[in-house]
Amino acid sequence: MLGISQQVPWIIFENVFPTVTLLAISNIGFRGTGEPFGNMRKFLYASEQQDEWNPQDDGQTMKVATGRDIYLDYGAAALEIVPDLRWALFEQDGSWSESPDDCELIVLAGDCYSTEFKQQTAELSAPLWAHTEDAGTDGPFYEAMRDKNVMVTHSPGSNATEVAEFAMSLLLWKAKRLDELRDQQSRGVWKQLELEGLSDKTVLVVGLGAIGSRIARMSKGFGMRVLGIRHSVEPVEYVDEQGNADDLTVFLPKADFVILALPLTPLTNGLINRHSFSKMKPGATLINVARGDIVDIPALLESLDSGLLGQACLDVVPTEPLPREHDLWATPGLFLTPHNASQTPLYTPRVMALWLQNLKRYINNEPLLGRLF
């Protein structure tokens, strides 16, 4: 289906055929933008008797590219909204139930969330709307969507609680020396260790969106002093002292724990670099539950090796999966997890609940929730 975004005047072609009048709606825009309806279904062929136009009369139906499990779990609910919705289903072996070439919609979530699905749907010629489970929108798939002027919506906050919980578990893992206690068990050693309390500690949360604001609240529940970095000047609850990116090097020396929960952008790529590590409090712990490219990995390795950085906990790395030969696997003082923070059975249902809500808005030409661009 062809989407038209440019403005066109009201045109009436009369008497082209004896019994047909062609109407073209003015101010045509994309569906889901909150602007007038924008696809060729809205070119109305009305008879001289002004018969009511039916959008199904043109024989075109909406089609979505997604995974089979998504269809099995949420297809019935979607068909209640769009009864003639068609599906191109991505299978676990990389094949399709039918060609996705004419898909208007993309749902990147659940069982089809894979590099192969993203690569193939990024090559579609004319999708109009993509919904994703991703919080951030970096990478080739989203670049392709931007280049094609495809609307993209995400599900902000759908995994925020679980990611924040994971970040706090890493903080507790370090403070309570759980790795050492587990090691003692494996060696049959019964020895008490002195553990850190949190009520006299300071945490710096870099990024105070849905995830970071929850980390701030949870940290305050442990009695910690909370510092925060945010692009916006709007104050965030539970943050004792808040600044922007220019204040990062001022806040770093004050923090026992630095937690990264910000999106990857050209400005945040490599944000935590040699200069940042040099400003950190000696023995501090870095926790990254954001994006791998935010941290300069060679600089991280140097800081751990020198003892400047006490501990690092990375749930994300620049290249995923991490190659087996990479130095990070065997780096002392590093706890590495496989981008696991967001994995919860609650995640996909939340993502799809928003998609279903947006599907209603889309067909009614209402603004979409969670729209990124």
Give me the pLDDT at residue 175, please: 97
213 and 112, same structural domain? no
Is 373 domain-assigned? Answer: no
More confident site: 33 or 319: 319
Give me the pLDDT at residue 60, please: 66
Confirm whether 68 is a catalytic residue: no
Give me the pLDDT at residue 333, please: 96
Token pair of 60, please? 């075109």
HSE-up (13 A, CA, CB side) for residue 321: 4
Give the residue-averaged pLDDT of 38-51.
33
Return the percentage of the chain with pLDDT > 90, whole number. Answer: 80
318 and 172, same structural domain? yes
pLDDT at 163 over 50: yes
CATH of the domain at 231: 3.40.50.720
Is 154 domain-assigned? Answer: yes
pLDDT tens per residue, range 12-42: 333 333 333 333 333 334 455 554 333 333 3
pLDDT tens per residue, range 271-316: 999 999 999 999 999 999 999 999 999 999 999 999 999 999 999 9
Give the residue-averaged pLDDT of 144-153.
96
- Please, which pLDDT band fits residue 137 given cuts at 50, 70 and 90? confident
pLDDT at 10 over 80: no
Give the residue-averaged pLDDT of 172-182.
97
Confirm whether 131 is a catalytic residue: no
What is the rounded CA–CA span in Å between residue 186 and residue 228?
A: 38
- Per the structure, the complete domain to which residue 189 belongs is given by 160-336
Number of domains in the chain: 3
146 and 79, same structural domain? yes
CATH of the domain at 116: 3.40.50
85 and 205, same structural domain? no
67 and 52, same structural domain? no
Give the residue-averaged pLDDT of 55-67.
72
- Please, which pLDDT band fits residue 236 given cuts at 50, 70 and 90? very high
Of the residues 58, 76, 95, the one at which a domain ends: 58
Give the residue-averaged pLDDT of 223-242.
96
Q: Which of 14, 91, 116, 320 is catalytic?
A: 320
Is 51 domain-assigned? Answer: yes
Torsion of CA 207, 248, 215, 349, to 10 degrees: 20
139 and 25, same structural domain? no
pLDDT tens per residue, range 92-118: 999 999 999 999 999 999 999 999 999
Torsion of CA 310, 315, 321, 325, to 10 degrees: 10
More confident site: 3 or 183: 183
Three state DSSP letters for the chain: CCECCCCCCCEEEEEEECCEEEEECCCCCCCCCCCCCCEHHHEEEEECCCCCCCHHHHCCCCEEEEEHHHHHHHHHHHHHHCCCCEEEEECCCCCECCCCCCCCEEEECHHHCCHHHHHHHHCCCCCCEEEECCCCCCCHHHHHHHHCCCEEECCCCCCHHHHHHHHHHHHHHHHCCHHHHHHHHHCCCCCCCCCCCCCCCEEEEECCCHHHHHHHHHHHHCCCEEEEECCCCCCCCCCCEEECHHHHHHHHHHCCEEEECCCCCCCCCCCECHHHHHHCCCCEEEEECCCHHHECHHHHHHHHHHCCEEEEEECCCCCCCCCCCCHHHHCCCEEECCCCCCCCCCHHHHHHHHHHHHHHHHHCCCCCCCECC
Give me the pLDDT at residue 135, please: 78
pLDDT at 234 over 60: yes
117 and 178, same structural domain? no
Give me the pLDDT at residue 14, please: 33
Q: Which of 177, 339, 361, 371 is catalytic?
A: 339
Give the residue-averaged pLDDT of 137-161.
92
pLDDT at 185 over 60: yes
Give me the pLDDT at residue 319, please: 95
150 and 264, same structural domain? no
Q: pTM of the prediction? A: 0.79
Confirm whether 339 is a catalytic residue: yes
Mean pLDDT, the chain, rounded, equals 86
